[in-house]
Amino acid sequence: MKADGNIFFTLALQFVIMSLLAMGGANAVVPEMHRLVVEINPWMTEREFADMFAISQAAPGPNVMLVTLIGYHIAGVSGALVTTLAMCGPTAVLAHFFGRVWDRFKDAPWRIAVQAGVVPVSVGLIAATAIVLTRASVHSWVALGITAATALITYQSRWNPLWPIGIAGLLGFANLV
């Protein structure tokens, strides 16, 4: 798609807002990214979104790098730079300032209540991410089995997540999914 100045502004604004609402980390706002780039705008397909999430999980580095793939797909290297900076910049500045005053309020009752209130919201957001990604990536019984088995293995054991990812990739390559 052709990228003009307008698209960079939209991307910057939307990803800054998302980062400020990302209670519980980048994985909490995956459904909102999906809404923005698949549902509201015709920027990518459901399948491309699921692929990019999978690549961001399998690659080294933080999971937030999903936004780099999305930005590149929409508006090239500049788009990737805009989404990455928007997602990782403002909250890092916020963190710098909060880091200096944290000790003053870390044991305050209001701080503990805020955290107690925010935790179930962030787990709910990540649960929504699980729903959206399962819908986007599971199109067969074998795929559903892969999702279930990966979830069980990761929940029950201390295996590195790359193992189930690698095995699932081999199953896919062997045309079994």
Partner 1 sequence: MSETTASSPPAAPIPSHLELFLAFFRITVTGFGGTLPWTRRMFVEEKRWLTEQEFNDLYALCQFLPGPNIVNLASVFGSRMQGPTGAVAAWVGFLVLPFFLMIAAAVLYENFGDVDAVRRVLGGVAPAAAGLIVATVAKMAMPLFRRFGPAPFVLVATALAIGVMRWPLVFVMLVVTPTSIALAWWMRR
**Residue 5: CB minimum distance to partner 1, A:** 21
Burial letters 105-117, b for 16+ CB under 10 A, else e: eeeeeeeeeeeee
150, 133 Cβ separation under 8 angstroms: no
Site pattern 124..143 for partner 1 (x: CB under 8 A): xxxxxxxxxxx-xxx----x
Q: Interaction with partner 1 in 27-56: which residues (CB under 8 A)?
A: 27, 29, 31-32, 35, 39, 48, 50-56
Asked whether position 1 contacts partner 1 by CB under 8 A, the answer is no
Asked whether position 172 contacts partner 1 by CB under 8 A, the answer is yes
Q: Count residues near partner 1 (CB under 8 A).
A: 113
Asked whether position 13 contacts partner 1 by CB under 8 A, the answer is no
**Residue 118: CB minimum distance to partner 1, A:** 7
Q: Interaction with partner 1 in 55-114: which residues (CB under 8 A)?
A: 55-65, 68-69, 72-73, 77, 80, 84, 87-88, 90-96, 98-100, 102-104, 106, 109-114
Which secondary-structure segment (H or E) carries 72?
helix 66-105
Nearest to 135 by CA among 63, 31, 25: 31
- Cβ neighbors of 116 (< 8 A, separation 6 or more) are none
49, 38 Cβ separation under 8 angstroms: yes
Q: Residue 66 carries which side chain, given as an amino acid letter?
A: L
Q: What is the distance between the alpha carbons of residues 163 and 176, in angstroms, rounded to a whole number?
A: 18
Q: Using the rule CB under 8 A, which residue among 8, 11, 19, 75 binds partner 1?
A: 19
**Residue 71: CB minimum distance to partner 1, A:** 9
